[in-house]
Chains A and B, each alone.
Chain A
């Protein structure tokens, strides 16, 4: 007896969700680059830029987190792998938050902790983004 399973893609993540998710990754990455610039030059303005970029990254990833939570709660959107994606995004947000506090220290007091946390946040953000987009969002249906 042949069973034909026809796969079709479910809806992709919401376009706004997608923008916020990839935006957060970019913001955290640029913050990291600014930290590197500060570490190399001692020019304080780089660390100011980094501080604001991290806050922007937190806003973006925070709203994306709400989208992910909603997806997680709705059976029709609960694609396989979305749980891991959600946890990674949550970890990104938490790391980013601690990074924001670290960046609130005056002058060189944010180093090296701020740089290390920027690396961690950025890696987490890219992993979360990868999973957010690649999650196999298809559902098997019998014809």
Chain B
């Protein structure tokens, strides 16, 4: 407790010092400001303290309303919308990387203060609104005894689940509320240590492949290069054979994947590295180019060398692709999905991005869901807050932390919140749904 307050006090002091001296860095878009890397004797750590919602709700734009369609879940992360409108929620917590340094012990304790104390669900919960009134009256456990499930995808009659250690599938018939039996394994996924454990997943437009996001095993190789085999990559897995190949690499932690309607292009949100300053390195949204290398660990935001990596690799640095769109440093983007016309004119063309919120920054950022507008199929313009009011900036408390976002073709945004253990649903007023509890 004391240690944390000291750190907070130090970081507040650092923030005050920074406020007077430096202009606000531009943190989003195609050309974010990239200040010089720096780090004090202690890393900035500010963890927003969790508090209860009480009567409050997250804030949404004028003309939209929000309701909690499921509460008391066991760490909801990602959601999948089934063809009949049912919602599947993947619940759980993964990772088992041991503390390597004294620092890991202290940092894990401090970060733990900003997360839920609920035990890992390791299950899929199904939510159904049979009469379409916006209240999800049916709630069943679709499958349990999974291992930190995260990525979900449906291809024809198979429901694929990316556990933290393997990719499995269930048979699925429309309307089913419970899996018929235990899942079948399609393939193992890289699972050593699982410093970054989430296995994001989406199905290709033609249904032949699954893309799986596999995060790095460290912040910046501090667990050694051998731990990084098959890490910081997006895999392409053949759904027939389970054979996998690396689709793109150098993506430090690709935490959510989605396919762009019309083009079939794979997009990802990626969490970038920490501990080189409050405005480095921007997390980003990018179209994932096949065979592309996005820099981690050697470089960031194109060919900016990260001096913390030894041995260095100038050839890899030279081939680094600059991502499409910066979302801001440390925002922790964990969810992405394309919108559609049913979400309303102002939010029809673009993506929603769920931001879990920062820890490595004196002034917390993230803790909201933003909308990144697109035009002509690429991001254009500033991100707009779509769901906010999680973080109270006055006293650095937070009531929730958004993770996965899913757009309902009928005109609704589903947001998983792994701090308050709630699934939120945001609809345009015109949709005619009654507000939920």
Q: Are B100 and A107 in contact (CB under 8 A)?
A: no
List B323-381 residues whose CB lies under 8 Å from chain A: none
Nearest Cβ on chain A to B105's Cβ, whole angstroms: 10
List A96-114 residues whose CB lies under 8 Å from chain B: 98, 100-109
Q: Are A44 and B275 in contact (CB under 8 A)?
A: no
Most buried by A among B100, B307, B310: B310
Answer whether residue A52 sits at the interface, using C-beta atoms and an 8 A cutoff.
yes
Q: How far apart are the CA atoms of A119 and B202 in the complex, in Å?
A: 52
Answer whether residue B311 sits at the interface, using C-beta atoms and an 8 A cutoff.
yes
Q: Are A107 and B41 in contact (CB under 8 A)?
A: no
Q: Are B218 and A52 in contact (CB under 8 A)?
A: no
* In the complex, chain B residues whose CB is within 8 Å of the CB of A100: 102
Fill in one digit per residue for A105-132: 1 if any B CB lies within 8 Å of its CB, else 0. Answer: 1111100000000000000000000000
Fill in one digit per residue for A44-71: 1 if any B CB lies within 8 Å of its CB, else 0. Answer: 1100100110010000000000000000
Q: Are B309 and A108 in contact (CB under 8 A)?
A: yes
Given A44-B221, A106-B308, verify A101-B101 contact (CB < 8 Å). no
* In the complex, chain A residues whose CB is within 8 Å of the CB of B100: 48
* In the complex, chain A residues whose CB is within 8 Å of the CB of B35: none
List A9-47 residues whose CB lies under 8 Å from chain B: 42-45
Q: How far apart are the CA atoms of A44 and B104 in the complex, in Å?
A: 15
Q: Are A101 and B310 in contact (CB under 8 A)?
A: no
Given A44-B223, A98-B41, A101-B42, verify A107-B310 contact (CB < 8 Å). yes
Chain B interface, number of residues (Cβ within 8 angstroms): 23
Residue of A nearest to B103 (CB): A104
Given A51-B102, A52-B102, verify A42-B39 contact (CB < 8 Å). no
Q: Are B41 and A44 in contact (CB under 8 A)?
A: no
Q: Are B308 and A44 in contact (CB under 8 A)?
A: no
Q: Are A43 and B275 in contact (CB under 8 A)?
A: no
List B24-58 residues whose CB lies under 8 Å from chain A: 39, 41-43
Answer whether residue B210 sits at the interface, using C-beta atoms and an 8 A cutoff.
no
* In the complex, chain B residues whose CB is within 8 Å of the CB of A98: 41
Residue of B nearest to A102 (CB): B41
Which bracket fits the contact residues of A?
Answer: 10 to 19
| Cross-interface CB contact of B224 among A43, A52, A102, A103, cutoff 8 Å | A43
Q: Are A109 and B101 in contact (CB under 8 A)?
A: no
B interface SS class: loop
Q: How far apart are the CA atoms of A98 and B39 in the complex, in Å?
A: 14
| Cross-interface CB contact of B308 among A52, A104, A109, cutoff 8 Å | A109
* In the complex, chain B residues whose CB is within 8 Å of the CB of A108: 307-310
Q: How far apart are the CA atoms of A45 and B223 in the complex, in Å?
A: 8
Answer whether residue B124 sits at the interface, using C-beta atoms and an 8 A cutoff.
no
List B284-321 residues whose CB lies under 8 Å from chain A: 307-311
Nearest Cβ on chain A to B361's Cβ, whole angstroms: 16
Answer whether residue B174 sits at the interface, using C-beta atoms and an 8 A cutoff.
no
Answer whether residue B219 sits at the interface, using C-beta atoms and an 8 A cutoff.
yes
| Cross-interface CB contact of B220 among A42, A45, A107, cutoff 8 Å | A107
Given A105-B275, A107-B222, verify A51-B310 contact (CB < 8 Å). no
* In the complex, chain B residues whose CB is within 8 Å of the CB of A51: 101-103
* In the complex, chain B residues whose CB is within 8 Å of the CB of A109: 39, 220, 275-276, 307-308
Nearest Cβ on chain B to A117's Cβ, whole angstroms: 11
Q: Are B219 and A42 in contact (CB under 8 A)?
A: no
Nearest Cβ on chain B to A121's Cβ, whole angstroms: 15
Given A48-B100, A55-B102, verify A106-B222 contact (CB < 8 Å). yes
Given A44-B221, A48-B101, A100-B102, verify A106-B311 contact (CB < 8 Å). no
| Cross-interface CB contact of B41 among A42, A48, A101, cutoff 8 Å | A101
Q: How far apart are the CA atoms of A98 and B40 in the complex, in Å?
A: 12
Nearest Cβ on chain A to B350's Cβ, whole angstroms: 35
Q: Are B220 and A52 in contact (CB under 8 A)?
A: no
Q: How far apart are the CA atoms of A102 and B43 in the complex, in Å?
A: 11
* In the complex, chain B residues whose CB is within 8 Å of the CB of A44: 221-225
Q: Are A42 and B275 in contact (CB under 8 A)?
A: no
Q: How far apart are the CA atoms of A22 and B222 in the complex, in Å?
A: 31
* In the complex, chain A residues whose CB is within 8 Å of the CB of B275: 105-106, 109
Q: How far apart are the CA atoms of A55 and B101 in the complex, in Å?
A: 10
* In the complex, chain A residues whose CB is within 8 Å of the CB of B41: 98, 101-102
- The 4 A-B residue pairs whose C-beta atoms are closest, nearest first, are A104-B103, A106-B222, A42-B310, A44-B224
A-B contact pairs, 15 of them (CB 8 A): A42-B311, A44-B224, A45-B224, A51-B102, A55-B102, A100-B102, A101-B42, A104-B43, A104-B101, A106-B275, A107-B310, A108-B307, A108-B309, A108-B310, A109-B220
Interface residues of A (CB under 8 A from B): 42-45, 48, 51-52, 55, 98, 100-109
